[in-house]
Amino acid sequence: DQQVKQNSPSLSVQEGRISILNCDYTNSMFDYFLWYKKYPAEGPTFLISISSIKDKNEDGRFTVFLNKSAKHLSLHIVPSQPGDSAVYFCAAISQGNKLVFGAGTILRVKS
C-alpha cells in the first residue's frame, strides 16, 4: 500500500518553460513533506520542503505547493533548465519519524 504516490513516471519539458511534478499521499498524519533530486550514479539530494502548516514554500526557481484537503503537493520549477533533468522523489514524514518516499518522476528538460 503506497502512502506516497507519484503517478507520472516521466515528464518532458522544453527549456525555459515550467515543470510541474505532482505527488499524492494517503496518510493524513503526514505533517512534513520534502522533494529530493537524484542524478544517475549519485545519491538523492534534498531540494525543498514544506510543513503542513503552510501551503507554499519558495526557494529560487523551485516552489512547492501543498493542498492538504486534496492530500496533494506539487513542485514547480520555473524556468526549467537542462541541468534540472533528473529523477525527483517526493517524501513525507509523520511526527518526525521515518521518511516515506514516492516512486519518483524522471524529468527531462530539452534544450
**Residue ranges that bind another protein, judged by CB under 8 A:** 4, 6, 9, 32, 34, 36, 41-46, 49, 51, 89, 93, 95-104
- Least distance in angstroms from the C-beta of 111 to another protein: 27
Our CB check for another protein shows the closer of 43 and 83 to be 43
Our CB check for another protein shows the closer of 20 and 48 to be 48
Cell of 47: 531540494
- Least distance in angstroms from the C-beta of 51 to another protein: 8
Our CB check for another protein shows the closer of 15 and 57 to be 57
- Least distance in angstroms from the C-beta of 106 to another protein: 11
Which residue pairs, CB below 8 angstroms and at least 24 apart, start in 94-100? 94/27, 94/29, 94/30, 94/31, 95/29, 95/31, 96/32, 99/34, 100/3, 100/4, 100/27, 100/30
- Least distance in angstroms from the C-beta of 96 to another protein: 2
Beta strand 86-94 with 30-38: parallel, antiparallel or unpaired? antiparallel
Our CB check for another protein shows the closer of 65 and 101 to be 101
Asked whether 84 and 21 are in contact (CB, 8 A), the reply is no
